[in-house]
Amino acid sequence: MIVVSTEIIPGFDTVEVKGMVQGNTVRSKHMGRDIAAGLKNLVGGELKGYTELLTDARRQALERMMLQAEQLGANAIVNVRYSTSAVTPGAAELYAYGTAVVANPMMGA
């Protein structure tokens, strides 16, 4: 599955648009991470627990979006974007979306 944030895939022709696809996940904070983050705020630096949480959330949302594209018969997703929103205090949604397409290599490329 080719996944790009651009409208086109260099070297490929888009031959069919399958439609919009999306994947999301809602994650909540972990008490242990909150305590560690509070301590880290005192001295500054990266909040690694939250970085890991967001990385996992992006991966899961992307996998869900790709699964939906595969079910539609697509082999690529273009115009991929991510969005986040607060669902409740302490929980956030990460949402990935794009357009599922069938893309074939250009002749001579």
| Contacts of the segment 13-17: beta carbons below 8 A, 24+ positions apart | 13/103, 13/104, 13/105, 13/106, 14/76, 14/78, 14/101, 14/102, 14/103, 15/101, 15/102, 15/103, 15/104, 16/101, 16/102, 17/99, 17/100, 17/101
| CATH number of the domain that residue 24 is part of | 3.30.110.70
Q: Residue 50: which domain range?
A: 2-105
pLDDT by 10s per residue, the chain, length 109: 999 999 999 999 999 999 999 999 998 865 554 545 455 455 667 667 778 888 899 999 999 999 999 999 999 999 999 998 888 877 788 999 999 999 999 986 5
Where residue 19 falls (left for φ over 0; alpha for ψ -120 to 50; beta otherwise) is left
As for how many domains the chain has, the answer is 1
Q: For the whole model, what pTM was predicted?
A: 0.81
